Amino acid sequence: MSTTIPTPTQHRRNGGDLVVESLAALGAGTVFGLPGQHALGVFDALRRSTLRYVGLRVENNAGFAADAYARTTHGVAPLLVSTGPGALMTLAALQEAAAGSAAVLAIGSQVPLAGMGGGRHGYLHELTDQSASFRGVVKSVHTARTASQIPSAVAAAWESALSAPHGPVWLEIPQDVLLAEADVPPVSELAVRPKALLPRPELIAAAATRLTEARRPVILAGGGVVRAGAEAELLALAEQLRAPVATTFGGKGAFPWEHPLSLQSWLEDRYTTTFLEDADTLLVVGSGLGELSSNYHTFRPLGRVVQIEADLGKLESNHAALGIHADARAALAALVKEVGEREPRDAGRAEDAGAPGPRAGAVGPPTPEAAVSDLLARVRDRIAGQHLDLEQQVLASVRDALPDGAVSCWDMTILAYWAWSAFDPRRTNALHSAQGAGGLGYGFPAALGAAVADPARPVLAVSGDGGAMYSIAELATARQYDLPVTWLIVDDGGYGILREYMTDAFGAPTATELTRPDFVALAESFGVPAVRTAPDRLRTDLAAALAAPGPSVVVLPAHLRMFAPTHLDS
């Protein structure tokens, strides 16, 4: 059963119009989605709006595209989908958006009002409680049951998505409310005030005392710094304190890669873990010190920890700390001011005390900058001893081929795991990956979303052959909208990282080997130019694809390996 779609007549404004008018009034310019029967009222209203619609072929991929659009713009990305299966298909993407603090406003339809409430009336797509499926994934859940509720519900959802920490929200509206005539004036203005999450002054003062008195301060910067746009404040504080800075995988780009104080992102390296442990005061900004950021929970700080985190649930969730519940930018700006107003640090203190050394009790190099240089040299030496020349060659070729101003989006694949540690994004907010929730299929649809946000720049997507199969349908999307996305598919005939994990753990892999298509021929069938390359030609072929207009595919048959883990013997 479903509400009958009205026959074409002279249009009278309905609930769908209120949705798109509300989005436009809040500043939206682009919406992503995929239509379905219950949602046709809002999709029809798009025809009468100024909003740009970008339609993908699978709802999950539409969610990934919206995620990257939100990350790239630091704004809200509306996502329009239908009821039941269409709604549920977004959950994996919304989990990634939650993990990555991407402000996705997902708007789904519902069965007609008469079917809501769990009565099991047998409507098409009916769920006993659709919104319950989203409550454990998104920041907030909203429902509009009448036309007059729609503008306020959209505004409340928008405000929630943009309040620190940014994150996805879910709003659902019944089919008959979207279709019914709305006796409500057109929406011309909506005011939202995302909640400012400011630090408490006494906590800033205490943190500044600990940092300025520390002899070996170190900073770990997470994704919260990037989402808050706090890179300038982080740089200023690090230089004030002469504190080495490591970035988490989600925080890549938060600190200049080649800065003398940059520890880069080698967090799955025991040398780096030890360096962070040996700080007498470690400032953690925008990270919950979760599994990947703590080298699989082997991190054991010997000194004191100060943690700045906008997500209250992550504050001191893994380690005791002076916890500051605040937006990263606001807290870092306050710390820069507080530290700057204090007596300058004794110029000889760092030299006399030594920067973090190999282990407590050992005197390290004479300056923080020398300590950073020494650490990175030891990391390079460790990698060099593992005969991973092919992997380093491939990653270097990708870096050389990618223009400095370009964005890259990485799926869950071995080359991406290398990139988390070893890739210099060369600009802030320029590398996005699915390392938050860890689901397959992120890279290509995310790259499409990033390209929609900034079509003047080429965008690189990186997938393995297994992850690529999640997103093949979106080659049609790339061609339809002529988006400047180059998709690098590293084809090793299976789920490569799972093959490694299973071989290491059980002696042989199971369910990891895949029959896959001819990716070049498949891309060409969509009208997308494609080339099969090799490691020695990758730099040239990838650069040419990125320089060409519109979408393209580069396929690299290669069996890459991961560098050895360092957490297993800890």
- DSSP per residue, 297-349: TT---SSEEEEEESSGGGTTSSS--EEEES-HHHHHHHHHHHHHTSPPPPTTH
Residue that terminates a domain, selected from 147, 179, 211: 179
**Measured CA angle at 130 (ends 124, 136), to 5 deg:** 155
Same domain, 104 and 71: yes
The CATH code of the domain that includes 237 is 3.40.50.1220
Q: Please state whether the peptide bond connecting residue 165 to the residue before it is cis, i.e. omega within 30 degrees of 0.
A: yes
pLDDT confidence of residue 356:
58
Same domain, 223 and 145: no
Split into its structural domains, the chain has a count of 3
Q: Residue 216 domain-assigned?
A: yes
Same domain, 240 and 154: no
Same domain, 171 and 210: no
Q: Residue 4 domain-assigned?
A: no
| Ramachandran angles phi, psi of 81, nearest 5° | -140, 175
Same domain, 150 and 229: no
CA distances from 302 to 210, 294, 305, 316, 370 (A): 15, 14, 9, 16, 21
> What phi-psi label fits residue 245: left (phi over 0), alpha (psi between -120 and 50 degrees) or beta?
beta
pLDDT confidence of residue 365:
52
pLDDT confidence of residue 126:
84
Low-confidence ranges of the chain (pLDDT < 50): 1-3, 346-353, 358, 360-363
The residue segments making up the domain with residue 470 are 386-557
Same domain, 174 and 213: no
Find all residues with CB under 8 Å of 67, minimum gap 6, and list them.
Answer: 77, 93, 96, 97, 100, 102, 104, 168, 432, 442, 446, 449
Q: State pLDDT tens for residues 366-405.
A: 699 999 999 999 999 999 999 999 999 999 999 999 999 8
Same domain, 319 and 399: no
pLDDT confidence of residue 13:
92
pLDDT confidence of residue 520:
98
pLDDT confidence of residue 122:
78
Q: Residue 211 domain-assigned?
A: yes
Same domain, 403 and 479: yes
pLDDT confidence of residue 350:
45
Q: State pLDDT tens for residues 301-351.
A: 999 999 999 999 999 999 999 999 999 999 999 999 999 998 655 444 444
Same domain, 113 and 220: no
Q: Residue 411 domain-assigned?
A: yes
Residue that terminates a domain, selected from 133, 148, 179: 179
Q: Residue 252 domain-assigned?
A: yes
pLDDT confidence of residue 115:
77
pTM summary value = 0.94
Residue that terminates a domain, selected from 179, 214, 233: 179
37: number of Cβ within 10 Å: 15
Same domain, 56 and 118: yes
- DSSP per residue, 66-129: HHHHHHHHTS-EEEEE-STHHHHTTHHHHHHHHHTT--EEEEEEES-GGG-SS-----TT--TT
pLDDT confidence of residue 567:
86
Query: Is residue 474 classed exposed, middle or buried when 0-12, 13-18 and 19+ CB atoms within 10 A define those classes?
Result: buried
Q: Residue 344 domain-assigned?
A: no
Same domain, 149 and 276: no
Find out whether 252 and 390 touch, Cβ atoms under 8 Å: no
Q: Residue 89 domain-assigned?
A: yes
Same domain, 231 and 333: yes
Q: Residue 366 domain-assigned?
A: no
Type of residue found at 234: L
